[in-house]
Amino acid sequence: MRGSIHHTFHRLLKCLDLRSSLPRRTLSTSIPLSHQEIVIPKRIQRSPTDILQALASTIKRDTSGPHYKHHDDPYLTPASNSLKRMYSLSKESGRKAARWIRDSNPQLFLHTPDDPHIKAFAPTVRYTEDDASEAVLRELVRQNEVSDAITMYRICKDKNIDLSDEAKQELLELVCYSNGEDQLEEDWLEERWHRQTTTTIRKTWNDDGVAEELFQSLGEKKSPAYCALIRGMTQYYQVDRAWQLYKECQERELPLDTNTYNSLIRVSSFLRDASDLRWQLVKELLATMAESGVQPNLGTLNSTLEALTQVAGWREARGLSLQVLREFTQAGIEPSLATYYFLLLIHCRERGPVSHLLLDMLDHMQGRAFQARHLKDTYFFVTAMNIARNHIQNLEAARHVDDLLHTGNNYCLIGDSYRESVYYRHYFALMCSQMPIDQFMEVYSDLSPHIYTPERDVMEMILKFTTLHNALQYIPQLYSDMVAYNLGNQEKLLTLVLSAAAQHQPADDNIELTEKMGRVAEDIWTRVEELRQDKTRINQITWTGQMLGDVLMCLVVSGNYKLCQVVLKDATLKAHTILGYIPPPALRVMLDAAIQRKDGDTGLEVVKYALESGHHETGELALHLRSSLNLTPRQKAKLTTALGTDIMTEATSSDSDSEGCQP
């Protein structure tokens, strides 16, 4: 590769020489040539993907299609959260399978055309007991192969291979950081993205494990060994043992580094009970740092604020948090997103007084691009959106949070798929309560399902919001999305869709919407009936009388009379499987449709259903049928048998009165 670059460089020089030999045209200029200088700019360090990122920044995100990592194909595009997760992990599983084949059969991958050699593309080197040595052990530690490094250490120990304290120290730091367990490789991006990382505050440290064994095997226990073990124990909440080691360091006058003090400050709340005693311990640790000449850093600031979050209900916590932030800022330590996250936890408690600290933060942070500098930087955006929704209920603050998220590469700090989903759940809920319906649907169309797929509760909220504002034109779109998001089997959502569709009033200017409402009702009827036939389904959908009434009204309005007859017949024959009865307004609409089509038999079925349901409007329905339609003698007999002669007499007299009034 070096030779090719050298050759290209010489060709470039040759071209320049050829250009210099060509005749030139002199240009008149006011600046003499002797005063012109060629200033070669300093080289800017670039990453391998900077050019791709620059090209990507010129193209806006296509919200009409799926995420770029999914196939842009209607049959392969996942819409629901479960399918997104399945597709992404399946694709990554294929890469894992390819790597397993490569590592299991290294003899098949001997062709290495890459120059220089790229180790990531080569099969993983497998070591045996014959390869046991300190050099191999240190190489495994450098590659972060935790389990293999521990195994190699055991082999060296069994074979009485002497290991230097430097090698043991390196292995100790690796084991303390990982708690002796293999970590998920950085290559598996999708598994990291879809893994729900929960912060569990409980002791998970492996007591009397490899880390403590390595610590005891060191010839001379120096400060780095104590620092590594204390940081590991505090990270996995073996607090009491870590504090004992800290006291031991003080007795031996061993200096500790900044990160070790930070880890002790972070868990100081577990060493004292009262809030003031906990804060007193934090001050003692900070004072010890100052006396030892240990310089604080961003981790010190965040650890101090994290300790204050454990006593957020303490009346002094708010003032102390701002004082800590001011002092560290004056010391030249710039806060990170985790700093603001801890401040929000302290000031915006669920049961505490309302604080508008978030608004001040957003004014200070507006337009800034952040980088990951602390492990909990990814907690800020989801927490800020939660506070904007539940604590201050401010849509403008939520918009500022979203603008900040989409500034620069800040979206990389959203965390994982779970935090992203919670973030947009809060955002959608706040928009539903405070934004006009048309503007909300524009945002909904941009984000869903390209970025966010609404969960059941969010979709329920959207349907109620749409019905409340009488924006029934969005119901077909929302129902179509429900089916795509695998929410078409949720009884509560189907009930809301049918209720909204039944409120539609047909007119000459909304014929298309009327037809769509009818198709929605027909699809729901078909879908539910198919689900009810699946006996293996655990949560069966149960028809209610109100749902069937809404189905009838939608079908009648859209002109699907045949399916109306099927629904009515099914409701009559399977009344024992239906909760409640079809309400009288729906029966009246169905009766009017039967009268309009001169269908006396269906009209009789409507009246009989109303009678069996115990509706008080049965007599009124029967009179309406008798007065509006010329029934055959057989139909009149059925009606008389069902309702008695009183109804027929009243109907006859009403007919006579109406005829006498005619001129």
φ/ψ of residue 374, rounded to 5: -150, 155
- Least confident stretch, 115-124, 173-182, 364-373, 422-431: 115-124
Task: Give dist(CA 1, CA 115) in Å, integer.
Answer: 7
Contacts of 138 (CB under 8 A, 6+ apart): 167, 170
- Greater pLDDT, 249 or 41: 249
pLDDT score recorded for residue 500: 95
Closest CA to 298 of 272, 251, 344, 262: 262
Contacts of 614 (CB under 8 A, 6+ apart): 581
Q: Where are the beta strands (DSSP E) in 323-453?
A: none
State the amino acid at position 633 in one-letter form.
P
What six digits make up the tokens of 160?
């009485």
Q: Where are the beta strands (DSSP E) in 257-406?
A: none
What six digits make up the tokens of 592?
């009017």
What tens digit of pLDDT does each residue of 587-635 get? 999 999 999 999 989 999 999 999 988 888 888 888 888 888 888 888 8
| Residue 447 Cα distances to 196, 421, 450, angstroms | 22, 11, 6
Closest CA to 499 of 524, 482, 480, 477: 524
Cβ–Cβ under 8 Å, residues 376 and 302: yes
- Least confident stretch, 9-13, 554-558, 603-607: 9-13
What tens digit of pLDDT does each residue of 477-498 get? 999 999 989 899 999 999 999 9
Residue 131's pLDDT band, with cuts at 50, 70 and 90, is: confident
State the amino acid at position 42 in one-letter form.
K
- Greater pLDDT, 358 or 65: 358
Q: What is the pTM of this model?
A: 0.85
pLDDT(371) > 80: yes
Task: Give dist(CA 96, CA 616) in Å, integer.
Answer: 68
DSSP assignments along 468-486, one per residue: HTT-GGGHHHHHHHHHHTT
Q: Where are the beta strands (DSSP E) in 273-314?
A: none
Closest CA to 466 of 428, 511, 425: 428
pLDDT(13) > 70: no
Estimate to the nearest angstrom the gap between the alpha carbon of 559 and the chain centroid.
42
What six digits make up the tokens of 491?
């009884």
> Residue 236 CB: number of other CB atoms within 10 A?
18
Share of the chain above pLDDT 70, in %: 91
What six digits make up the tokens of 191?
């598994």
Closest CA to 506 of 498, 514, 515, 517: 514
Residue 1's pLDDT band, with cuts at 50, 70 and 90, is: very low
Q: Can you state the percent helix, strand and coil of the chain, rounding each to 5?
A: 65, 0, 35
Which run of H or E residues covers position 654? helix 645-660
Averaged over 135-156, what is the pLDDT? 92
Share of the chain above pLDDT 90, in %: 60
According to DSSP, residue 77 is labeled -
pLDDT(518) > 80: yes
Task: Give dist(CA 622, CA 628) in Å, integer.
Answer: 10
pLDDT score recorded for residue 352: 84
Closest CA to 548 of 519, 524, 514: 524
Task: Give dist(CA 374, CA 307) in Å, integer.
Answer: 15
Angle of the 165-178 helix axis to the 223-235 helix axis, nearest 10: 10
pLDDT(6) > 70: no
Cis peptide upstream of residue 335 (ω within 30 degrees of 0): no
Contacts of 210 (CB under 8 A, 6+ apart): 150, 153, 175, 180
**Which of 85-94, 188-197, 255-264 is the most confident on average?**
255-264
Residue 647's pLDDT band, with cuts at 50, 70 and 90, is: low
What six digits make up the tokens of 145?
């192969």
Task: Give dist(CA 263, CA 274) in Å, integer.
Answer: 20
Estimate to the nearest angstrom the gap between the alpha carbon of 561 and the chain centroid.
44
Cis peptide upstream of residue 449 (ω within 30 degrees of 0): yes
Cβ–Cβ under 8 Å, residues 171 and 137: yes
pLDDT(659) > 50: no
CA atoms within 13 Å, Cβ hemisphere of 375: 9
The three-class DSSP label of residue 61 is coil
CA atoms within 13 Å, Cβ hemisphere of 479: 25
Averaged confidence pLDDT in the chain: 87
What tens digit of pLDDT does each residue of 398-416 get? 999 999 999 988 999 999 9
Cβ–Cβ under 8 Å, residues 340 and 348: no
Task: Give dist(CA 266, CA 150) in Å, integer.
Answer: 29
Residue 663's pLDDT band, with cuts at 50, 70 and 90, is: very low
- Greater pLDDT, 187 or 512: 512
Averaged over 156-182, what is the pLDDT? 92
How many degrees, rounded to 5, is the angle at CA 102 between CA 156 and CA 117?
A: 80
Instruction: Write down the number of H helices and E strands in the chain.
Output: 31, 0
Task: Give dist(CA 194, CA 125) in Å, integer.
Answer: 29
Residues in the chain, overall count: 663
**Which of 65-69, 79-83, 111-115, 329-333 is the most confident on average?**
329-333
| Residue 27 Cα distances to 24, 31, 33, 95, 239, angstroms | 9, 11, 11, 60, 78
> Residue 415 CB: number of other CB atoms within 10 A?
19
Task: Give dist(CA 494, CA 380) in Å, integer.
Answer: 36
Closest CA to 546 of 613, 485, 475: 613
Q: Where are the beta strands (DSSP E) in 80-193?
A: none
Contacts of 98 (CB under 8 A, 6+ apart): none
What six digits make up the tokens of 417?
């798929």
Task: Give dist(CA 141, CA 156) in Å, integer.
Answer: 14
According to DSSP, residue 334 is labeled P
- Least confident stretch, 149-163, 182-196, 510-524: 182-196
Contacts of 620 (CB under 8 A, 6+ apart): none
φ/ψ of residue 199, rounded to 5: -85, 105
